[in-house]
Structure 1
């Protein structure tokens, strides 16, 4: 009888751990989806307030890394909010910024306090012709596809964004599509803060934009073999060229 009780206790413990892991994965997915919904409507204060207070928190965006809550504030509020909606927290009429988040792969560590997520994003953005005379971007419209490789930590029982790495794969106009997109569609930063008051705290050594097609490294190993994708497989040589001639692989270094 004692052996049966011990076995049942072990099973309950195992089931409780499995349930907690599933709950954590679902909560992390919800955190990122909520982030996307806030971002869609230029609710940058709400985005900023989601972030971890950990001093090692950061956001990587278009060749720059914004460190800590001060850097994250500089990106979302000082830069995005002032540039897109003239300092307002919320949408303005005629400005579209629509992110669809999909295909989440979420992994939680054994302690249940640190997690990783790979999530795809597709975006439509632009201005309506009725505001072209007042919005600083004029009349524009574009599409964007990218990947997040993110980290999350649990603080006081709440899952929060910790390290966000966003890699835009491609940009395209509706008129010309991806084939005619100019290279370096969005200029990468050249200066860091404070020399650039809105710049990142550091520059990322190997940013990418279409037609660069290097693989964003996976935070996970292969589900069957247990092996990671190797560095040569992450690179993108030209047609018929040796991989050694291509750009170095991207990294997820912190």
Structure 2
């Protein structure tokens, strides 16, 4: 290999590494913006973050394609939380901080994985219309991204809400299956998912590990998952 050939190869490698770092920043921007949109119930804008073939995994259900994504965010969430209004409503708190994001871009720069978490504060003020409530929630994201025409979009928003607790009592007294999972698919349930997540996730006090989409960062080996004791207190 001549000096010129070696230099060309080095430049190409550096350009590729720089492009991946730029991809990571663009993906982080999309993911963080998702959190800001959800905070203020900007559900129309949330839907626009997704690929046409995108999907959402939420409370044991899979909502597929733009039609499924719209069904969840606009028909269900917007209809329930803001009475059909695209944007915040008086007295409604729904903060979704986006935390601990680990972003991995594939070598071909066409796809990426994102693992992260949200620790949510939510509730309705006593002066607002509706039943006053306040709760905490925490969950893990296991997301997939796709680059289409140079733009990174969400291919899968996989949110696994692990724990809930009222502001007054905390999470130690959360009832089993506090948030019921959907049992009926679309179209039998007009707001239901297109399919169920397998295996079926469980909420706190279950403590399952969501599988990591990347290997151990030091050993390079797949990260072992042992959920054998994660649900031992449940009586199915």
Unaligned 5+ runs, structure 1? 248-254
Q: Which residue of 1 aligns with 2:219?
A: 225
Unaligned 5+ runs, structure 2? none
Q: Which residue of 2 aligns with 1:26?
A: 25
Counterpart of 1:107 in 2: which secondary structure?
strand
**TM-superposed deviation, 1:169:** 1.4
Q: Does 2:75 match 1:78? A: yes
Q: Which residue of 1 aligns with 2:8?
A: 9
The alignment's TM-score, normalised by the length of structure 2, stands at 0.95
The question of whether the paired residues in 2 share the 8 Å contact of 1:28 and 1:159 is answered with yes
CA-atom RMSD in angstroms: 1.9
Q: Does 2:205 match 1:208? A: no
Q: Does 2:43 match 1:44? A: yes
User: 1:228 and 1:156 mapped to 2: Cα distance?
Assistant: 32
The question of whether the paired residues in 1 share the 8 Å contact of 2:78 and 2:84 is answered with yes
Counterpart of 1:53 in 2: which secondary structure?
strand
The question of whether the paired residues in 2 share the 8 Å contact of 1:21 and 1:112 is answered with yes
Counterpart of 2:70 in 1: which secondary structure?
helix
The question of whether the paired residues in 1 share the 8 Å contact of 2:207 and 2:231 is answered with no
User: 2:230 and 2:139 mapped to 1: Cα distance?
Assistant: 20
The question of whether the paired residues in 2 share the 8 Å contact of 1:235 and 1:246 is answered with no
User: 1:236 and 1:164 mapped to 2: Cα distance?
Assistant: 27
**TM-superposed deviation, 1:190:** 1.0
**TM-superposed deviation, 1:246:** 11
CA distances 1:219-240 after superposition (whole Å, capped 9, x unpaired) = 0111122221334x2443578x
Q: Tell me which stretches of 4 or more aligned residues in structure 1 moved more than 6 Å.
A: none
Where in structure 2 are the equivalents of 1:190-205 lying within 5 Å?
A: 190-205=183-198
CA distances 1:165-204 after superposition (whole Å, capped 9, x unpaired) = 1101100111111110111111100101111111111122
User: 2:83 and 2:149 mapped to 1: Cα distance?
Assistant: 35
Where in structure 2 are the equivalents of 1:1-254 lying within 5 Å?
A: 3-54=2-53, 57-131=54-128, 134-135=129-130, 138-205=131-198, 206-231=200-225, 233-237=226-230
The question of whether the paired residues in 2 share the 8 Å contact of 1:237 and 1:246 is answered with no
Q: Which residue of 2 aligns with 1:250?
A: none
Task: Report which of the two has the higher share of helix.
Answer: 1
The question of whether the paired residues in 2 share the 8 Å contact of 1:236 and 1:246 is answered with no
